Amino acid sequence: MKNYIKLLKNILSKIPHTESFSEAIRIVLREVCETTGWAYGEVWVPSPEGNYLVCGYVCHYTLKPLEKFAEASKTITFPPGIGLPGHVWVTKKPSWIIDVTENDNFLRAAIAKECGIKTGMAIPILDAGELLAVVAFFVNEKKQEDEEMLEFVSIIADELVNITQYKKLEIKNAQLSQAVEQSACCIIITDIHGTIQYVNPKFTHLTGYAIEEVIGQNPRILKTDKTSSDDYKELWEKITSGASWQGEFYNRKKNGEYYWELAQITPLKDKEGQVTGFLGIKEDITEIKRIEKEKEELREHLYHTKKLEAIGRLAGGIAHEFNNILMAVVGYANLAKLEMGDDHYVSKYLRNITDVSDRAANLIQGILSFSRKQPLHDTKPMSLNTLIVRSEVIFSRFFRGNINYIILLKNASEKIFLSRKSSRPQLMTFQCFATNICT
């Protein structure tokens, strides 16, 4: 084995820098053929279907006739147990043939004899019992089985598997790291005590905190009073017990701005199932919350609008009936004035009746216009309190008996005053107020 130590070191120094398994095998074939006297090397890999072996790569540096053997190898396949590669595939053990031209299971015996090939050996490359490839070497002279050579190539095969597994793990970790770094969600990793160990760029972009500002801190730096201490206690008890938690937070950024987030917190566990830390994946849902709020306000406004329309239709019907009665009252009052004359002491009462009736008629006309969605003409400012008092005289018999007009006027004044201070439209406020008066 001492003869191969230098070669082994040389190969092992080159393999880790390769980008793929096939590239690493090519290095092995070239190095062995260049330094050990074996004239030809080849690698056989399972087909995509996994039911036969195909030639993946050949390498030779001596003997011109070997090119013919190489071309023949590229056109042949080996089912399990057939030929030297197929035999090694089934046995999963190295194999040495002193003279391949005299071996009945060596399908390329004729072409090997023509090219001057004599001894051949093959070694399986296995990963957890699964065949990755078969490496074979040939020489143009008979050689007795060399245990050191077989052991040397077997060591190389094992190292190829180890390095391949490491490469796969590197690729997997790189993909995972890339996914975390480029994720559209905030990702936080903490230790068992909740101390932040990692945050991704999305977290810093959303919260305004730099990575160095939050490492070693607790996620409580984002908390507000929106989430109670009892809620945080319940969350902590759940995740420390090994269960996942999902919910919403109303947090505060570094600049004081507030935002909503949907969070999924999952315990990280070791092989024994012990919790070693926590993974938090959080999504900014501030815009979703804003849209939901607008939809709710729109639904509420639509509800009151529909309600007001229904009241308008009802009020229109009442006003129409009342208008008929009022016309009779006005008619009889005018007849009484004609009979008694202006000097009669009752005339002033009759004038009061007609004056009040005129105001009532104007009010009724306005109600009818509102119920029919007609434009109001000759509008002018009017005291809301005066309007309600006059309406009480006319419509008191139609309203519920439990309406307190003092409280009603006070509430009307407060509602409209508050609407002026807020961004809520005053018309909407008045509509809601009018709806509540009439229902």
**Same domain (yes/no): 129, 206:** no
Question: What does the alpha-carbon distance between residue 424 and residue 301 come to, in Å, rounded to a whole number?
Answer: 11
**Pick from 8, 55, 63: which is nearest to 31 by CA?**
8
pLDDT value of residue 378: 57
Strongest mean pLDDT among 22-26, 184-188, 435-439: 184-188
The domain in which residue 23 lies consists of 2-178
**Same domain (yes/no): 243, 302:** no
Helix (H) or strand (E) holding 260: strand 258-269
For residue 94, give the DSSP letter.
Answer: -
pLDDT value of residue 343: 73
Question: What does the alpha-carbon distance between residue 278 and residue 265 come to, in Å, rounded to a whole number?
Answer: 7
Q: Lowest-pLDDT range, 101-110, 238-247, 296-305, 406-415?
A: 406-415
Q: Is the pLDDT of residue 67 over 70?
A: yes
The amino acid at 61:
Y
pLDDT value of residue 213: 94
pLDDT value of residue 55: 93
Helix (H) or strand (E) holding 159: helix 147-181
**Phi, psi dihedral angles at 97 (to 5 degrees):** -120, 120
Q: Is the pLDDT of residue 439 over 60?
A: no
Selected residue with higher pLDDT from 355 and 421? 355
For residue 129, give the DSSP letter.
Answer: T
**Pick from 159, 87, 160, 161: which is nearest to 129 by CA?**
161
pLDDT value of residue 188: 96
Kindly state the average pLDDT of the residues 359-388.
65
Q: What CATH code is carried by the domain that includes residue 225?
A: 3.30.450.20
Mean confidence (pLDDT) of the chain: 82
Considering 178, 207, 238, which residue would you say is the last residue of a domain?
178
Coil, helix or strand at residue 92 = coil
For residue 100, give the DSSP letter.
Answer: G
- Judge whether 293 and 272 are in contact, CB under 8 Å: no
**Pick from 150, 153, 137: which is nearest to 41 by CA?**
137
Selected residue with higher pLDDT from 400 and 201? 201
Question: What does the alpha-carbon distance between residue 35 and residue 125 come to, in Å, rounded to a whole number?
Answer: 21
Coil, helix or strand at residue 106 = coil
Domain count, the chain: 3
Name 219's Cβ contacts closer than 8 Å, sequence gap at least 6: 188, 190, 194, 196, 280
Question: What does the alpha-carbon distance between residue 111 and residue 382 come to, in Å, rounded to a whole number?
Answer: 114
**Same domain (yes/no): 123, 201:** no
Q: Is the pLDDT of residue 404 over 70?
A: no
**Same domain (yes/no): 423, 302:** yes
pLDDT value of residue 373: 62
pLDDT tens, residue by residue, 320-334:
777 777 778 878 777
**Same domain (yes/no): 204, 254:** yes
**Same domain (yes/no): 252, 331:** no
Q: What is the DSSP string of 338-404?
A: HHH-TTSTTHHHHHHHHHHHHHHHHHHHHHHHHHTTPPPPS-----HHHHHHHHHHHHTTTS-TT--
Own/partner pairs, 364-372, CB within 8 angstroms, 24+ separation: 364/319, 364/322, 364/323, 364/326, 367/315, 367/316, 367/319, 368/316, 368/319, 368/320, 368/323, 370/312, 370/315, 370/316, 371/312, 371/313, 371/315, 371/316, 371/317, 371/319, 372/316
Instruction: Work out whether strand 53-60 and strand 77-78 pair parallel, antiparallel, or are unpaired.
Output: antiparallel
Q: Is the pLDDT of residue 424 over 70?
A: no
Considering 163, 178, 193, which residue would you say is the last residue of a domain?
178
Q: What is the DSSP string of 131-154?
A: EEEEEEEEESS-----HHHHHHHH
- Judge whether 224 and 258 are in contact, CB under 8 Å: yes
Considering 162, 178, 194, which residue would you say is the last residue of a domain?
178
**Same domain (yes/no): 121, 194:** no
pLDDT value of residue 318: 74
For residue 45, give the DSSP letter.
Answer: E
Side by side, the strands of the sheet bearing 245-252 are: 196-199, 186-191, 275-284, 258-269, 245-252
**Pick from 211, 212, 213, 184: which is nearest to 199 by CA?**
211
Q: Is the pLDDT of residue 257 over 90?
A: yes
pLDDT value of residue 98: 96
Name 419's Cβ contacts closer than 8 Å, sequence gap at least 6: 425, 426, 428, 429
Question: What does the alpha-carbon distance between residue 362 and residue 348 come to, in Å, rounded to a whole number?
Answer: 21
pLDDT value of residue 422: 52
**Same domain (yes/no): 190, 267:** yes
For residue 300, give the DSSP letter.
Answer: H
Q: What CATH code is carried by the domain that includes residue 13?
A: 3.30.450.40
pLDDT value of residue 307: 74
Kindly state the average pLDDT of the residues 31-60.
89
**Pick from 7, 3, 11, 31: which is nearest to 159 by CA?**
11
**Same domain (yes/no): 370, 266:** no
Predicted confidence band of residue 347 (pLDDT cuts 50, 70, 90): confident
Question: What does the alpha-carbon distance between residue 211 and residue 200 come to, in Å, rounded to a whole number?
Answer: 8
pLDDT tens, residue by residue, 128-156:
889 999 999 999 999 999 888 888 888 88
Predicted confidence band of residue 423 (pLDDT cuts 50, 70, 90): very low
Question: What does the alpha-carbon distance between residue 374 and residue 368 come to, in Å, rounded to a whole number?
Answer: 8
Strongest mean pLDDT among 98-102, 163-167, 404-408: 98-102
Question: What does the alpha-carbon distance between residue 211 and residue 186 come to, in Å, rounded to a whole number?
Answer: 12
Q: What is the DSSP string of 402-433?
A: T--HHHHHHHHHHHHHHHHHSSS-HHHHHHHH
**Same domain (yes/no): 425, 328:** yes
pLDDT tens, residue by residue, 167-181:
778 788 888 889 999
Predicted confidence band of residue 349 (pLDDT cuts 50, 70, 90): confident
pLDDT value of residue 138: 94
Question: What does the alpha-carbon distance between residue 351 and residue 281 come to, in Å, rounded to a whole number?
Answer: 80
**Same domain (yes/no): 96, 11:** yes
pLDDT value of residue 427: 47
Q: Is the pLDDT of residue 54 over 50?
A: yes
Q: Is the pLDDT of residue 243 over 90?
A: yes
Q: Is the pLDDT of residue 393 over 70?
A: no
Look up residue 380 and give its two tokens: 């002018």
pLDDT tens, residue by residue, 283-327:
999 999 999 888 888 888 887 777 777 777 777 777 777 777 777
**Same domain (yes/no): 276, 411:** no
Kindly state the average pLDDT of the residues 196-213.
94
